[in-house]
């Protein structure tokens, strides 16, 4: 009784162990290579689900079926224009031939290190063949927006450095040569992209100096633009002032001239009515002028012959004068 | 085998606690009957205990809930079975079914160059040290200048099956894509565009490019927004960028000063011009009025004169002399017959006598 009981227990334990070592599951994200004493047996299992294998002697080796990432560590390398830059790449790859992959690499760690080697050297090659700007820029014909205030004319500031190929083409070159080389490992390279490209620490001070001098240049231009504009305004001020003042002078003189002309016209019309008015004007005007011409310290020598004093010598006016007066109006 | 996540779900579930013993009773009575036949001894306490524990574990691991912002992807023996909407659900225990919850409705984000504290999603913040975070922001612009760019990426998981099964670490891959695209976009722009005028364009361009790539990579992610945060020139250069700003201010100041001087003088000059013109106009009026006055007076006189020319003439003559004469201090009246008086006249003594 007791032995039967224990026997059953042992059998059931052994049975369940047998079952558990002869079935296995394959997830959606993996594929499995079954090995027998370390040697792959049969085709790789690529469908997910519950699977059966020989217990004990066969082992399962799951291999990822998803798209995997490779992240290179940043490494310093020179460009064609001898600038040291630090380049950081990433790639996406997947295992397309699991058997080949299993035989050649066995696990992902060694796959990653092969990718390090291959992509690392291809990147170096490509970077050394191109100038820095070729792996920075992408679009060949792009015209940059310009701050109207910041960059007005001729200067290089605010312009993009021209390129021949551009980043995407360089990436494609690296990709093309590297993807050939990784095929032997049962790996397919899906794409590679530059993740980070930076100036090497040793280059930075020079770059910063250049940026600073560029900015100073802009700042100086602002100052001189300000001074120039101010000078222009000051010039305008003088010009306007002269214009206004001279216009005023011109208009004033014109008005005065016209006024004088008008007055002369009025006088002429009045005085020129006939010989009588001409003569009378002459007379009255002369009389008027005496008042201002003769002052206190004038010495006046008058003869008794004159009209005012002719009566000093006698009452009767001189014959000549009277006869003259009778015939003529002139004094 | 159950995942820890599934166990957690079941622990706090009262419904589960009430229901399970009922099931156990049935199962146990059936089991006991069967075992009783197999094992006549009846001393099978250990065995029954083992079965009991196993069944309890099974019940624990067969119930799970899906939060309202998520769906669960169920795999049976590793194979994709179904997508499960939010709510309470049953699955086969002992690791036969595996449910993975994916927050499809949640707006997820990734931060580049800075980190909000308390993030639970490991791909939300920059990984690694502070230096790595700084490296993430450093970029080279299309005019070979340098800039520090911080940005945020808003995304959602649009296809949980792809998200789980297509790419190993979609969050990390998305970070790589985002960094790469942002550098590509910034690399095509000048430092001025990056820092000031081109921000919006960069956001749009980066968004389109990231969307294209995430579609191509079939990660089951849809990108909603790219937002630029702080963008600065590198620290040693910042000072000189400020100088530019100051120079800009200084320029405005200089121009305004000159304008002030202009405005101080020109309107005044215009006023003075008007003043002079008006004065001239006044002169004009004066001249004409005076002329007309003179003429009127002359005409009146002339009319009188015409009536008696001799007398009027004489009168005016005498009146004028009468007016003028008294003021003159030295007057010499000489007989008309006397000739040659001038040689005797001492003009100096006359001057002295006055």
* CATH number 3.30.479.30 is the correct assignment for the domain at B108-233: yes
Selecting from B259, B265, B333 the residue whose C-beta is nearest the C-beta of A312 gives B333
pLDDT of residue A326: 41
Residue A326 touches chain B, beta carbons under 8 Å: no
Residue B191, classified by CB atoms within 10 Å of its CB into exposed (0-12), middle (13-18) or buried (19+), is: buried
Question: For all residues of chain B together, what is the average pLDDT?
Answer: 80
Residue A294: list chain B partners with CB under 8 A.
324, 327-328
Q: What is the pLDDT of residue A151?
A: 55
Which helix (DSSP H) or strand (DSSP E) does residue B88 occupy? strand B87-90
Tell me: the pLDDT tens digits for A175-215?
A: 999 988 988 998 999 989 999 998 888 888 888 998 898 88
Please tell me the distance in Å from B254's CA to the nearest CA on chain A: 6
- Residue A323's pLDDT band, with cuts at 50, 70 and 90, is very low
pLDDT over threshold 50, residue B232: yes
A246 pLDDT more than 90: yes
Closest Cβ–Cβ partner in A204, A222, A264 for B251: A222
Q: What band does B351 get if pLDDT is binned at 50, 70 and 90? A: low
Query: How confident is residue B312, by pLDDT bands cut at 50, 70 and 90?
Result: confident
pLDDT, average across residues B116-142 = 82
Is the Cα torsion angle A128, A131, A135, A141 positive or negative in sign?
negative
CA distance B42 to chain A (A): 11
Nearest CA in chain B to A163: B142
**What's the pLDDT band for B32 if we cut at 50, 70, 90?**
low
| Encoded tokens for B163 | 């998200």
Instruction: Mark A53-71 as b/e (b = at least 16 C-beta within 10 Å).
Output: beeeebbebbbbbbbbbbb
Q: What is the pLDDT of residues A100-149, one digit of tens each?
A: 888 888 888 998 999 999 999 999 999 999 998 888 888 887 777 776 66
Tell me the average pLDDT across A22-35. Answer: 86
Q: Of residues A319 and B63, which shows the higher confidence score?
A: B63
Q: Tell me, what's the pLDDT at B33? A: 52
Categorize the per-residue pLDDT at A311 as very low, low, confident or very high, splitting at 50, 70 and 90. Answer: confident
Mean pLDDT, range B300-308, rounded to an integer: 85
Q: What is the number of other CB atoms lying within 10 angstroms of the CB of residue A28?
A: 19
Domain A68-202 sits in CATH at 3.30.479.30
> Is the pLDDT at B26 greater than 70, yes or no?
no
Alpha helices by DSSP H, chain B: 4-11, 14-38, 45-60, 130-137, 160-165, 170-187, 191-192, 199-216, 235-307, 309-324, 347-353
* Domain boundaries defined on chain A: 22-63, 68-202, 208-278
Average confidence (pLDDT) over B25-37? 51
Model confidence at B227: pLDDT above 70:
yes
Answer whether A151 sits within 8 Å of B192, measured CB to CB: yes
Pick the range with the lowest mean pLDDT from A267-276, A302-311, B203-212.
A302-311
Which member of B41, B80, B318 has the closest CB to residue A308?
Answer: B318
B46, B133, B140, best to mutate vs chain A, most A CBs in 10 Å = B140
Residue B243 has pLDDT above 50, yes or no: yes
Residue-wise pLDDT tens digits, A151-174: 554 456 667 788 888 888 999 999
- Residue B144: closest CA among chain A residues belongs to which residue? A133
Question: Does residue B143 have a pLDDT over 90?
Answer: no
The residue-averaged pLDDT of B296-318 equals 85
**Contact A283/B at CB under 8 A:** yes
To the nearest whole Å, the CA of A300 is away from the closest chain B CA by 5
* Residues B301, B299: Cα–Cα separation, whole Å: 5
**What is the reported pLDDT for B269?**
92
The predicted structure's pLDDT at residue B29: 53
Q: What pLDDT score was predicted for residue A5?
A: 82
User: Are A90 and B143 within 8 A, CB to CB?
Assistant: no
- How many CB atoms within 10 Å of residue B85? 10
- Chain B CB contacts of A230 below 8 Å: 254-255, 257-258
**How many percent of chain A have pLDDT more than 70?**
91
User: Among A49, A199, A303, whose Cβ lies nearest the Cβ of B336?
Assistant: A303
At B149-180, the pLDDT tens digits run 999 999 999 998 889 888 888 888 999 999 99
In this structure, the number of other CB atoms found within 10 A of the CB of residue A268 comes to 11
ipTM: 0.72
CB-based burial of residue A202 (10 Å sphere; 0-12 exposed, 13-18 middle, 19+ buried)?
A: exposed
B186-211 mean pLDDT: 89
Q: Which residue has the higher pLDDT, A311 or B7?
A: A311
Please say if the pLDDT value at position B142 is more than 90: no
Task: Name the pTM for this structure.
Answer: 0.69
Beta bridge partners of A90: A71, A193
Binned at pLDDT 50, 70 and 90, residue A310 comes out as confident
Interface contact A303-B333, CB threshold 8 A:
yes
Question: Which among A74, A73, A111 has a CA at the least distance from the CA of A93?
Answer: A111
Cβ–Cβ below 8 Å for B258 and A230: yes
* A95 neighbors A64 (Cβ within 8 angstroms): yes
Q: Please judge whether B143 and A158 are an interchain contact, meaning their C-beta atoms are less than 8 angstroms apart.
A: yes
């Amino acid at each position: 009784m007791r032995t039967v009981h224990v026997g059953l227990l042992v059998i059931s334990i052994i049975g369940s162990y047998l079952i558990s070592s002869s079935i296995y599951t394959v997830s959606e994200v993996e594929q499995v290579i079954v090995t027998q004493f370390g040697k792959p047996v049969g085709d790789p299992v690529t469908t997910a689900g519950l699977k059966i294998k020989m217990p004990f002697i066969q082992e399962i080796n799951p291999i990822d079926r998803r798209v995997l990432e490779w992240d290179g560590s940043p490494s310093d390398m020179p460009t064609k224009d001898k600038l040291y830059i630090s380049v950081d790449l990433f790639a996406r790859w997947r295992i397309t031939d699991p058997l080949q992959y299993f035989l050649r690499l066995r696990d992902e760690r060694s796959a990653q290190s092969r990718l390090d080697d291959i992509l690392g050297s291809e990147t170096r090659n490509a970077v050394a063949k191109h100038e820095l700007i070729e792996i920075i820029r992408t679009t060949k014909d792009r015209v940059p927006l310009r701050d109207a205030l910041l960059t007005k004319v001729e200067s290089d500031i605010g312009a993009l450095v021209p390129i021949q190929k551009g980043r995407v083409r360089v990436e494609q070159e690296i990709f093309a040569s590297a993807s050939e080389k990784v095929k032997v490992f049962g790996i397919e390279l899906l794409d590679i992209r530059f993740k980070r490209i930076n100036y090497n620490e040793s280059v930075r001070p020079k770059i910063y100096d250049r940026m600073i001098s560029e900015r100073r240049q802009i700042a100086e231009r602002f100052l001189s633009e300000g001074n120039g504009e101010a000078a222009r305004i000051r010039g305008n001020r003088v010009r306007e002032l002269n214009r206004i003042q001279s216009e005023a002078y011109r208009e004033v003189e014109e008005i005065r001239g016209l006024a004088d002309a008008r007055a002369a016209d009025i006088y002429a019309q009045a005085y020129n009515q006939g010989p009588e008015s001409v003569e009378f004007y002459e007379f009255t005007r002369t009389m008027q002028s005496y008042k201002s011409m003769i002052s206190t310290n004038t010495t006046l020598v008058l003869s008794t012959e004159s009209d005012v004093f002719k009566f000093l010598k006698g009452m009767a006016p001189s014959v000549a004068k009277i006869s003259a007066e009778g015939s003529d109006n002139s004094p | 085998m159950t995942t820890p996540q599934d166990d957690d779900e079941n622990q706090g579930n009262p419904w589960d606690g009430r229901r399970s013993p009922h099931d156990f009773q049935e199962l146990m009575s059936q089991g006991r009957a069967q075992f009783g036949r197999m094992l006549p001894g009846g001393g099978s306490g250990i065995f029954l205990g083992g079965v009991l524990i196993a069944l309890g574990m099974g019940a624990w691991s067969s119930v799970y809930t899906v939060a309202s912002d998520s769906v669960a992807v169920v795999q049976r023996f590793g194979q994709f079975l179904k997508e499960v909407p939010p709510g309470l659900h049953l699955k086969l225990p002992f690791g036969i079914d595996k449910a993975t919850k994916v927050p499809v409705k949640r707006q997820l984000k990734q931060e580049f160059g800075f980190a909000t504290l308390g993030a639970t999603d490991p791909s939300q913040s920059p990984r690694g040290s502070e230096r790595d975070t700084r490296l993430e922001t450093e970029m080279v612009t299309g005019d070979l200048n340098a800039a520090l760019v911080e940005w945020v990426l808003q995304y959602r998981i649009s296809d949980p099956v792809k998200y789980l099964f297509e790419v190993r670490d979609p969050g990390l891959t998305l970070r790589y894509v985002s960094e790469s695209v942002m550098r590509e976009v910034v690399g095509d722009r000048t430092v001025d565009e990056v820092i000031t005028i081109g921000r919006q364009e960069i956001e749009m361009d980066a968004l389109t490019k990231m969307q294209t790539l995430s579609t191509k990579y079939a990660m089951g992610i849809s990108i909603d927004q790219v937002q630029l945060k702080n963008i600065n020139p590198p620290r040693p250069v910042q000072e000189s960028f400020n100088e530019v700003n100051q120079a800009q201010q200084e320029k405005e100041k200089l121009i305004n000063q000159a304008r002030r001087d202009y405005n101080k003088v020109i309107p005044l000059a215009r006023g003075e011009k008007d003043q002079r013109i008006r004065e001239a106009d006044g002169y004009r009026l004066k001249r004409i009025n005076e002329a007309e006055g003179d003429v009127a007076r002359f005409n009146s006189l002339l009319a009188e004169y015409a009536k008696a020319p001799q007398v009027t003439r004489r009168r005016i003559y005498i009146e004028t002399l009468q007016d003028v004469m008294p003021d003159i201090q030295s007057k010499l009246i000489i007989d008309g017959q006397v000739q040659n008086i001038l040689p005797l006249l001492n003009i100096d003594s006359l001057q002295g006598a006055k």
